[in-house]
Amino acid sequence: MPERTVAVASRSGLHARPAKIFVEAVARQGMAVRIRVGDGKPVPANSMLAVLSLGAGHGTKVTLDAEGPGADAVLASLAELLAQDLDAEAVPDA
């Protein structure tokens, strides 16, 4: 199963606005994606509550995984999104 590990760049981590932007981007992918912190249990990346429950702060390394055709491209896109400061005013579409 392909994986990508990335440090959360948003100043507030994956909380509130950054988490919403990330979860919406995952939902648009049409593929089951999971996210975890360290060796923790993976949670569905399309669930706002699950993503918030990770408590991923600024600089926390998270690992994304997905399976299926195009998974590598989906993970690359989502990792690129998390590597940006999603608290900033202008956020590109993922």
Taking every pair of C-alpha atoms in the chain, what is the biggest distance, in angstroms?
34
Active site residues: 15
Which residues does residue 33 pair with via DSSP β-bridges, in sequence order? Answer: 66
Give the pLDDT score at 88. Answer: 79
* Single-letter code of the amino acid located at 67: E
Dist CA 72 CA 18 (whole Å): 22
- Is the full-model pTM beyond 0.85? yes
The per-residue pLDDT for range 26-83, each reduced to its tens digit, is 999 999 999 999 999 999 999 999 999 999 999 999 999 999 999 999 999 999 999 9
Q: Where are the domains of the chain?
A: 3-82
Dist CA 15 CA 76 (whole Å): 21
Residue 87: pLDDT over 90: no
Dist CA 2 CA 33 (whole Å): 10
Decide the pairing of beta strands 33-37 and 43-44: antiparallel
Classify domain 3-82 at the CATH superfamily level. HPr-like (3.30.1340.10)
